[in-house]
Structure 1
Amino acid sequence: MFIFIIICICYSVLMLMLLHGWKKIQEFSSENSPAEIRFSIIIPFRNEAENLPILLKSLTEINYPNSKFEIILVNDESEDNSMEIIEGFPQLHSDFRIKVLDNERTSNSPKKDAINTAINSAQFEYIITTDADCQVPENWLKSYNDFILKTGNKLIAAPVAPLYLPPKGGGKIPYFLNFEVLDILCLQISTAGAIGISKAFMCNGANLCYEKDAFLKVSGFAGNDNIASGDDVFLLQKFQQENYKIGFLKSKEVIVYTQPQQSFGDLVSQRIRWASKAPAYKSLFSKFTGVTVLLMNLSLVIGAFLVFLQILPYQPILIIFLVKFNLDFILIYSSAKFFQRETVLRSYFWSSIFYPFFSTYVAVKSLFSDFSWKGRQFKN
């Protein structure tokens, strides 16, 4: 029981640190600065015919001078009609410049190879990455421009949220989607909170901006290109090791919306892929966070079984659960308020009961099994 208490104390300290970091970051408002920063928008894609029309439409609505940005799409061996959709798009938007490249594979990470392929061809000084299943906001580049001019940051993480729409034909939103939204809200505030206390260890490549020269100076993805995922996290850690200025752009005007997973099985597979890179984290804070969160969830799972077997009394385990329940709620509520997703909190109670089992399963599975991604199999 003493070990359970120590884990609970460590978890409580961690959550309070992240909440403090989130509150330290002021919400940013555009300042109508002149459009000085030039951006190369990089978007790898593989078999995204269903999502590309939404992405491309949102890109045409960007409120920024056309001469100040370029769009580089990198085809990672798509087997559907993604290329036909892209090739037909300029015919409808003649003033819209898109460069399409074939991915040049050199490592075990297709996405890192795709970004490297694009950066080798990029003309402008700042790189922005997003995913092909995303929808970017109108003032995306304008807000980044204002933020960079004000802060001088070399790398900027920014918010990502799932599209939260009722199913086609009506009906209720699936329970697993509510669960996914709550999970992403937690990840987003954890990302920002860690940056707010200068302990950055996580970001999302669906909405990430960094200086091209700084990327080249840290040798890009070299050193971790044997790991299939982590194009965002490991680059962030390299920037931090070089003491480059890192910031979180806390603004509703730059939220990138991404398609949610289509099934609970897809959600589990995605989380296993994300978790598979955790053992390669280098910073002490990232290791402390990963171990503490894992142990907290694992202790609740073990505690529940011990209570069921009548080996432990239920009161101490219930108290530990309530500590976690309330701390997590405060954190997620703050995130939900920013993303204007307060209604999803209606699912918080059952999600908080299920999450320790989900998280423990994903963590253990990521350590011992391979994973699939975009129709490919990757070894852990």
Structure 2
Amino acid sequence: MIWFFVFMFILYAILIIALAFGFTKVYEFEAENLESKTSFSVIIPFRNEAKNLPQLLKSISLLNYPKELVDFIFVDDASSDDSVKVIEDILPNNKMSINVIENNRTSNSPKKDAITTAISIAKNNWIITTDADCVLPENWLNIFDSFIQTTNPKMVVAPVNYIAINNFLEQFQLLDFMSLQGTTIGGFGMGYPFMCNGANLAYKKSAFLKLNGFEGNNTIASGDDVFLFEKFLESNKESVKFLKSKEAVVVTFPVKTWNSLINQRVRWASKTSRFKDSKVKLIGLLVFLINLVILFSLFYFDNLLFIFLPITAKLIIDLFLFIPTINFYKHKKAFYKWYLFCSFFYPFFSVFIVFKSIFSKYNWKGRSFKK
């Protein structure tokens, strides 16, 4: 059994070090002094986001990009609060092209339906999706435009960051999310991209239509980003690129309760079994087994060395990827304060989420969904 544990940790170390090396291989893009040419339709599905929309709308008003080259399509997914009114109140004084439309539900996935509904009326060449609880950086569209003109992609994956207050719940989410962001960038650097985030994702409308959009996975409530991402990779992996730039970072916020976090993570975990690429599933299995080994060691062994060695080994191995990620996203202070505490808690949380995702439903935006 000990040798099995050692073998698992060797595989895990190889994976994390490879991702860390990949992270450094993705160069940090700097915008060139080019004339703005790319036309964007920014799609923002929302449901009961009246509290979050004002900060998003303010960031939209501050965007530094030619207004004639961008329009915003907000898709209302049966909101029961004042979300629509919040948007409509700013329209008379806003110079941006902003449309608010109703979601046309045709599948089990409200968000995929919302994006499809918006794309059907989108007038521009490039689609960008983001979320209603996000804040956009001032030069967001400028950096996308420069990157598109320079690299000629069909899909652009871009970074997402958290703003978290100084408590355990939010700092735990921050560090967990940073591990996902580091893994995303590292995968691109390894030449094996396998993750993305729909809060900051762009693609050609023509390519979306050619690939039949979300057809084939619209029975799954979540996954408006990763399953479409898989389609683009299958079609032409070289045309899918990561925009590593601090000017492209979209900011969002952690959830505020443990119940919301559990539902969110169960929703994310429920997508894993639907991935087409068996290597992605194996990576997920390896991470799960490492966390399971740590829990097993805590409760099975009575030798202190065997109890603490697995979690210490993981803590050290993870530093290889965490350090470059934390430096890029500028979270050094949170990292040094919370890393040890969060690392000890994570195996319990991770294993719990995996089992819960297998055996239970999850709630999302006031609705209950099966896996």
Partner of 1:214: 207
Per-residue CA deviations over 1:335-356 (Å, capped at 9, x if unaligned) read 1111111011110001111101
For 2:96 and 2:311, how far apart are their aligned partners in 1?
53
Partner of 1:97: 97
1:343 to 333, 340, 343: 333
Q: Which runs of 5+ in 1 are unaligned?
A: 167-172
Aligned partner of residue 234 in structure 1, secondary structure: helix
Figure out how many residues of one structure are paired with residues of the other and give that number. Answer: 368
Per-residue CA deviations over 1:203-235 (Å, capped at 9, x if unaligned) read 110001111111111111111111110100111
2:358 to 347, 354, 367: 367
Partner of 1:201: 194
- Aligned AA for 2:357? S
8 A Cα contact 1:27 1:251, kept in partner = yes
**1:52-201 equivalences in 2 (<5 Å):** 52-93=53-94, 95-164=95-164, 166=165, 173-201=166-194
8 A Cα contact 2:135 2:252, kept in partner = yes
For 1:366 and 1:127, how far apart are their aligned partners in 2?
31
Aligned partner of residue 149 in structure 1, secondary structure: helix
For 2:329 and 2:45, how far apart are their aligned partners in 1?
26
For 1:134 and 1:17, how far apart are their aligned partners in 2?
31
For 1:349 and 1:11, how far apart are their aligned partners in 2?
19
Partner of 1:256: 250
How big is the shift at 1:176? 1.1
Per-residue CA deviations over 1:357-378 (Å, capped at 9, x if unaligned) read 1111111111111000000000
How big is the shift at 1:315? 2.1
Per-residue CA deviations over 1:232-277 (Å, capped at 9, x if unaligned) read 0111111111124111111110111112211222112111111111
Partner of 1:285: 279
* CA-based RMSD: 1.1
Aligned partner of residue 135 in structure 1, secondary structure: coil
**1:316-331 equivalences in 2 (<5 Å):** 316-331=306-321
Aligned partner of residue 43 in structure 1, secondary structure: strand
For 2:201 and 2:260, how far apart are their aligned partners in 1?
24
8 A Cα contact 2:293 2:310, kept in partner = no
- Aligned AA for 2:191? S
- Aligned AA for 1:191? T
Normalising by structure 2, what TM-score? 0.97
For 1:304 and 1:243, how far apart are their aligned partners in 2?
45
Normalising by structure 1, what TM-score? 0.95
How big is the shift at 1:152? 1.0
Between 1:36-45 and 1:257-266, the stretch displaced more is 257-266
For 2:213 and 2:31, how far apart are their aligned partners in 1?
30
For 2:116 and 2:15, how far apart are their aligned partners in 1?
35
**1:5-20 equivalences in 2 (<5 Å):** 5-20=6-21
- Aligned AA for 2:330? Q
1:272 to 263, 266, 288: 266
How big is the shift at 1:177? 0.9
- Aligned AA for 1:329? L
For 2:227 and 2:3, how far apart are their aligned partners in 1?
35
Between 1:201-210 and 1:237-246, the stretch displaced more is 237-246
For 2:300 and 2:186, how far apart are their aligned partners in 1?
34
Q: Percent identity over the alignment? A: 44
How big is the shift at 1:318? 2.9
For 2:266 and 2:64, how far apart are their aligned partners in 1?
37
Partner of 1:169: none
8 A Cα contact 1:195 1:246, kept in partner = no
How big is the shift at 1:327? 1.6
8 A Cα contact 2:160 2:199, kept in partner = yes
How big is the shift at 1:320? 2.7
2:369 to 335, 356, 378: 378
Aligned partner of residue 192 in structure 2, secondary structure: coil
